[in-house]
Structure 1
């Protein structure tokens, strides 16, 4: 970059009549299907803990500081260096952050933002969470079925899906599974469009895309905004050919507001600041250091970072004293005054579809995903181990978080749908195959009842052990910990089986915490009850050697302390069932709490 102090001027093209509409929010009440979002003195604080586990220090960091602005129909870009401010501001506006650290007001058309605003607006995360094992149309049908009211007919839903496919030029790819980044991004946008929400949030929609795909995505957003949609997105280092299509620009750095106004006025505004204009070009070109992700590099350039913070403070003060800020403040004060007169409009919204409807669609989608890996399951036989059960929720975390917070379904619908469509099939088939192979090879008793009893016992054992993995794997970022804990516990359970043989009687109580213990006892009861190992000897001969020879299964079971009644068999299955219910309950509570739910919300959903 040149070191000259001459002002830098990049000519902006004039907007034509056919281009994007100007953002006009002077009279928000006249908007019908359009929405104007305004935010007033937004500040956000986070509590950060540092130090060793036993000597942690807690401090409060202000991530956003007194940020205000207005965003209406059009393309509203949020830019800034890679310090997390732009994504944080986007998430706060989209109601995707914990409101405990939030202060200020966020209004929609001059009225308080609904308590469940995230269910009535669209949000597309940076990492696409579309299901890649079903087609583009399948993903859109899933979104329409769960996010549109039950009063919308099937024909109306199909019409909306076809319109969205046409708008995004996806007609030829509607029966293709979204595997490429570009197709996944367009599918994510399409899933939000079928709901026809007036506001759409996107977190860095062009990250990881090449220039051609980026242009396609921005073109899609441009067409959407021309239909009256309010598009709010964060973006990093856009090309000028992309930047020129933005309607409004919000520039944040270090949690402070540097600029908020028409995007075409940004370069002229920063040029008027003299050499400070280089800051804006640094943001465009990515020259501003990443103080969070590249901490080591920032330490080596402390002087440079300090200079940039000085520039940040200077720009924030300059904008606070600018005519742009004064004009925005006047419009915000008018909206805030109207909001104070109508706080009663902030009503809480809920999911628009009932529990059974959500359960059916989640089960249907999960079965499609299961059929796609059926051949792998049959050939690899990898699902026979219980450790893989944790994958049911671990690998689906991002998708569940996005869909649940967007109002697709309740936690209970997702939980039971995954159990019915994935856990049960993944354990039923391997358990049956395992019994078919081992039952006849091991030479067990040839009885139809004995075979099906063993199959049932193996299934109960598999479900109970899988429930343990689920209870540990339902939280966030616990994949490695889950694998370690489950492995240790399974080793412990296998060792505890030796305690049934009388080894270390002092520790015999440990076996009651072992899941295989109950399955092992049920299998012994099934195999030995009714067996006669001395059929060639008469009763008198056997009675003389009863202290030395065990000729019946009942004798062996009595020595082992079994009840010979049917209760001696079913008590073990009851223990497995209770274990499974307790662990699945823990799984559900853990799943609910891991994503921001509290006890009152849990009771309300139940």
Structure 2
């Protein structure tokens, strides 16, 4: 479809759902105020309608809507069904004007089927079962009352003695027998036999097909690059729409950079300079790792949305993964690393060479990228943010121990020494040490020969 055709369909759905007044508004989150609950519900329906599906599943599409808006939404769904679409949805307490729109009705209670058939024949079916709907009563409410066993319809069908209704039984003793009775009555009805015949025909046709055709691969209407572009664009737009996290991270990075620069200000080329350089380089590396823990929320928070959109065939897994990766690595990992390097490098008085400055910046960015990638890998298998954060923290603590500063790696027992190769800070710390210490002279004024050493008292 061309862009103007897409825009026309979007505007049509917005008009039909009555969302024209809030078309350019934010949906909002639990912390940010946005559209109302009813408008949010209609927006979620619009996201399904925009793809023009042949079969549409909706879970309580009228919840949170007033009766007029709910009726308008169901009229829209009715018009769509007349265009050749199958629409299946669950609903509670629909008003009579909505109930008249139903073509087929299914009633369930305690996992058992109470009725399935044409909606307009349901009243006659329950009348044949001995339950008559009172005049001016809503059929939908009547069906629910009969199933629950506490309606006036059930009372009127009970034996009346001396003009008074017999004392009603306790619900716990009455519900189960009534449900079983209605389920048994339906099994013996003509509606069940007709449905059974249709299901047998469908199952017989499926058995003739090969098993390989039972599970068809999801087909996509667009290419990988097209999906990557729009997933990335949506992620960046969400980031700009809720900039609290990114702005807070930049502010914390600036403050932390100034504090570190003040503590290790103007490193000297003496014994203390060696210790301070080793300490600050270790801190910079581990800080990049622990600041990447925030990446765990990237997949955990949006897992339900991703599962829904992927199953619906919106995009590939690879498109979503790389799209989210771009939206996180560039603004949330690279920019803070660049700011942190620019602040600390000159305050610390590290090696005054341009190539050394850019090597340090590149090394810190790579450490942040590697740590974020590990966080995303752990988050992809978790459904709770706190558990993913805990696993990340434990992993980084062990990596920090094998980074090369806290323990001499040559003294580690052989059956544990292999863990050093899994340590992300170890590689970053080694790169920063090589970049900083190579070429510096910590013995000024001394002519050190091959037989002499430059030692310092501790």
Take 1:543 and 1:391, find their aligned partners in 2: how far apart are those partners?
A: 56
Question: Which of 42, 50, 53 is the equivalent residue of 1:197?
Answer: 53
Assess if the C-alpha contact under 8 Å between 1:389 and 1:423 holds in 2: no
For residue 265 of structure 1, give the secondary structure of its aligned residue in structure 2.
helix
1:308 aligns with 2:175: yes
What per-residue deviation string (whole Å, max 9, x for no partner) do you get for residues 373-414 of structure 1? 446413443797111111111111011001100001111111
Take 1:333 and 1:412, find their aligned partners in 2: how far apart are those partners?
A: 40
Take 1:489 and 1:329, find their aligned partners in 2: how far apart are those partners?
A: 56
Which residue matches 2:78?
A: 222
For residue 252 of structure 1, give the secondary structure of its aligned residue in structure 2.
strand
Take 1:346 and 1:544, find their aligned partners in 2: how far apart are those partners?
A: 77
Say which is worse superposed, 485-494 or 524-533, in terms of deviation.
Answer: 485-494
Question: Which of 128, 138, 144 is the equivalent residue of 1:284?
Answer: 144
User: How far has the Cα of 1:334 moved from its partner?
Assistant: 6.5
Assess if the C-alpha contact under 8 Å between 2:107 and 2:116 holds in 1: yes
Q: TM-score, normalised by structure 1?
A: 0.56
Question: Which of 230, 238, 249 is the equivalent residue of 1:369?
Answer: 238
Assess if the C-alpha contact under 8 Å between 1:237 and 1:283 holds in 2: no
Assess if the C-alpha contact under 8 Å between 1:237 and 1:286 holds in 2: no
Matching of residues 466-485 of structure 1 within 5 Å: 466-485=372-391
1:261 aligns with 2:117: yes
Assess if the C-alpha contact under 8 Å between 2:292 and 2:368 holds in 1: yes
Task: Label 1:281 to 1:441 Cα distance change in 2 as closer, same or farther (>3 A).
Answer: same
Take 2:193 and 2:390, find their aligned partners in 1: how far apart are those partners?
A: 58
Take 1:306 and 1:276, find their aligned partners in 2: how far apart are those partners?
A: 23
Assess if the C-alpha contact under 8 Å between 2:364 and 2:428 holds in 1: yes
Task: Label 1:346 to 1:401 Cα distance change in 2 as closer, same or farther (>3 A).
Answer: closer
1:442 aligns with 2:348: yes
User: How far has the Cα of 1:417 moved from its partner?
Assistant: 1.3
What per-residue deviation string (whole Å, max 9, x for no partner) do you get for residues 161-197 of structure 1? 2322232233333222223322222222222223322
| Residue ranges of structure 1 left out of the alignment (5+ in a row) | 1-151, 290-302, 551-606
User: How far has the Cα of 1:239 moved from its partner?
Assistant: 4.3
What per-residue deviation string (whole Å, max 9, x for no partner) do you get for residues 84-137 of structure 1? xxxxxxxxxxxxxxxxxxxxxxxxxxxxxxxxxxxxxxxxxxxxxxxxxxxxxx
Take 2:382 and 2:94, find their aligned partners in 1: how far apart are those partners?
A: 32
Matching of residues 12-31 of structure 1 within 5 Å: none
Assess if the C-alpha contact under 8 Å between 1:370 and 1:422 holds in 2: no
What per-residue deviation string (whole Å, max 9, x for no partner) do you get for residues 438-483 of structure 1? 2122222222211111111111111111122111110251422211
Which residue matches 1:66?
A: none
1:168 aligns with 2:28: no
Matching of residues 115-154 of structure 1 within 5 Å: 152-154=1-3
1:357 aligns with 2:226: yes
For residue 25 of structure 2, give the secondary structure of its aligned residue in structure 1.
coil
Task: Label 1:326 to 1:390 Cα distance change in 2 as closer, same or farther (>3 A).
Answer: same
Which residue matches 1:491?
A: 397
Which residue matches 1:236?
A: 92
Which residue matches 1:46?
A: none
Take 2:237 and 2:131, find their aligned partners in 1: how far apart are those partners?
A: 58
1:411 aligns with 2:317: yes
Which residue matches 2:155?
A: none
Which residue matches 1:323?
A: 190
Rg bigger for which structure?
2
Assess if the C-alpha contact under 8 Å between 1:238 and 1:284 holds in 2: no
Task: Label 1:373 to 1:452 Cα distance change in 2 as closer, same or farther (>3 A).
Answer: farther
Q: Which has the higher helix share?
A: 2
Which residue matches 2:364?
A: 458
Assess if the C-alpha contact under 8 Å between 1:500 and 1:511 holds in 2: no
CA RMSD of aligned residues (A): 3.6
User: How far has the Cα of 1:527 moved from its partner?
Assistant: 0.6
Q: TM-score, normalised by structure 2?
A: 0.72
Which residue matches 1:506?
A: 412
1:528 aligns with 2:437: yes
Take 2:425 and 2:7, find their aligned partners in 1: how far apart are those partners?
A: 50
Take 1:320 and 1:372, find their aligned partners in 2: how far apart are those partners?
A: 55
For residue 274 of structure 1, give the secondary structure of its aligned residue in structure 2.
coil
Which residue matches 1:13?
A: none
Take 1:496 and 1:332, find their aligned partners in 2: how far apart are those partners?
A: 63
